[in-house]
Every structure is written in C-alpha cells, then in structure tokens.
Amino acid sequence: MSSFQKSQIGNTELAIDALGFGCASLGNLYHAVSDEEAADILTSAWTNGFRYFDTAPHYGQGLSERRVGDALRTSSDYVLSTKVGRLLRPAGYAAERHGFVSPMPFDIEYDYSYDGVMRSFEDSLQRLGLDRIDILYMHDIGPVTHGDDNDRLFPIAMDGGYRAMDELRRNGLVSAIGLGVNEYEVCERALEHGDWDCFLLAGRYTLLEQESLDSFLPKCVDRNCSIVIGGAYNSGILATGVSGKGPWNYDYGPAPEDVVKKVAAIESLCGEFDIPMAAAALQFPLAHPAVASVIPGIGKVSRINQTLNLFATKIPHEFWSALAERGLIRDDAPTPTGKPDE
C-alpha cells in the first residue's frame, strides 16, 4: 500500500495527501460506470493507499456522492471534499446531460445564497450517508460557467454563500472552505472577500499553463491559502500526447493548434529522457509551495496502479531544466526537486 506525503491545509489542522482521488468519473462522466465497477474502483483505491477523495453534487447529479459515501461509510481515516452552489431538483428523467451519462434523475439549480449553501451542505450529507465533510468548496462560481450572469451571482456568493461556509467552519461542521473552479481569476478576486483555506483549481496550473504564477499563486503563498490541483492532464492531452491519431482533448473540448504544437514539443522532450509525459504532468504542480495535492480523475481499476506508477516515476532534474531552457515552461515555475544522475 502506498503512503503519500501530507500537507496542512492553510492555517487549519487538516492535512491531506499529495495524491488524491478525483471522483467525477464515478458520476458517469463521458461513459457509464456500473455500481459494481464503482465499488471495485473505490475499494482498490483505498487498498492502494488513497485517503483523500473529492466529489460534488454535480458529478452525475448526486451519483458520485452516493457511491463515494457507500465506500467510505465503514472507514474513518479519510479526508472528503464536496461542493456547494448547485441544488438538485427532481427532474423525472435521467437522460445524459452536462457530460454525465445516465446520471441520477435530477436537474441543477445554481444557488450561491446563504440558504442555498446550507441546504446544499445538508443534502450532500444525506446523499453521502456520512456524518462529516472535511473540505467544502464553492463550485464553479465565475464567468467561465456563468458568463455575464456572474456579475449577479458573485456578490451573492461572496456575501451569503461565504457567510454560510464560514459559519459551518466556525461551528466545526467542516474543517476548511474554498472555491472549486476552472479559472484562477475568480479565486484571486475571492481572496479580497473572505478568509479562504484552499482552492481547488482545475487545469490552470499545469505543464501547459502557468499564468497563475503572475499574481494569484504568490498571493496564496503570502496568505497561506493551499491549492489542490485538478485537471493536471488538461482534460487528457497531457496524458495521451499527440503522437497518435486525434482528436485530442484540451479544456473539455478539441485542442487548438498552438496547444497541440506545445504538447508535441513536451512529448518529444519526454521521449529524450524516456519518461512518460503523464508522469511529468502529474508531478509538476506539486513543486509549487502553495500546492498541497493533485487529484487526477480515475475511472477504472487499472488506472489506479498506472497513476501510482506515474506518481512514483523518478524524473531527473535535467528534464525540468530542459523544459525551461526550451521555453516549454516559465522560467519562474518551481520544479520538483531532482538530483543529477550519478
């Protein structure tokens, strides 16, 4: 069984593993996973040392939460995060929507108000069938999800929504609060409106993207606000590479030509050093002092050992130096500690 380095979340007493388990796939993201398969995946993950699990009401409209709760109910030494901001309303049908195949028969209603957050928290406890949630993220606030309507929703989220989350934290019902989003700019803006412990940032600090180094990540270091990285493979392109037949996925859609070209250059360099590009993608974010954990999505039992092997792959410091020298990552991007080959 693997054991992972732990990092403290912000100024809390909560510590999480450097490698966590993203549970979107257990909500039937892009393809169906049976209840039996989901149980096998989670059992194998636990047996292999995973102890931090991230889910959300959005993942299969409650399906992922139900499955995760079933798997964790007889255990105690886990860390669990879920999210608020979406309420689930009975729909009377379970057709594919929002990328989830055969979800639970609910529709989504965005609600970032005080009452909406409190109800979402209670609903999640009911779906999970658990007596605690450790980290509570405000899910998908920001213009990427809401467009112009974010101008209306953001003040509501930073007022009533934050007040509810802070109350849950102060009352000991959750250990940490933050945002779970695909855009760092809204996190940076949120820092001015509350005392956040952590942010789950998907796809915005990876081998392909480091713009968050400009001001957001330094602010997180200054304020001791931890980062959990989702989407380390940028929707798959950093795992599959581009040497085979496309199309290649990037940021939940087809990869643009400039991204394909950059991935090809990274993939070529990985070939020179005989290391899997996915290993470099998985390990890279953790070098930043603000980053506490990376949580790849895992939807098959076979992917568990594969992920553990990628995480354990030894990557020489010369590789990281070459990435910077060739302009494939920013010069100011911290890289994992590596020692020259002896």
Q: Which residues are catalytic?
A: 54, 59, 83
- 17 CB-side CA count, 13 A: 23
Structure tokens at 290: 């603000």
CA 248 to each of CA 20, 28, 70, 212, 240: distance values in angstroms, whole numbers, following the listed order:
25, 20, 34, 24, 8
Read off the tokens for 35: 């209840």
DSSP result, 131-180: S--SEEEEES-SHHHHGGGHHHHHHHIIIIIHHHHHHHHHTTS-SEEEEE
The rounded distance, in Å, linking the Cα atoms of 254 and 175 is 38
Query: Minimal CA–CA distance to 308: which of 276, 339, 335?
Result: 276
| Residue count of the chain | 342
**Distance in angstroms (rounded) separating the CA atoms of residues 232 and 295:** 8
- The dihedral sign for the CA sequence 267, 270, 275, 278: negative
For residue 78, the number of C-alpha atoms closer than 13 Å in the C-beta half-sphere is 26
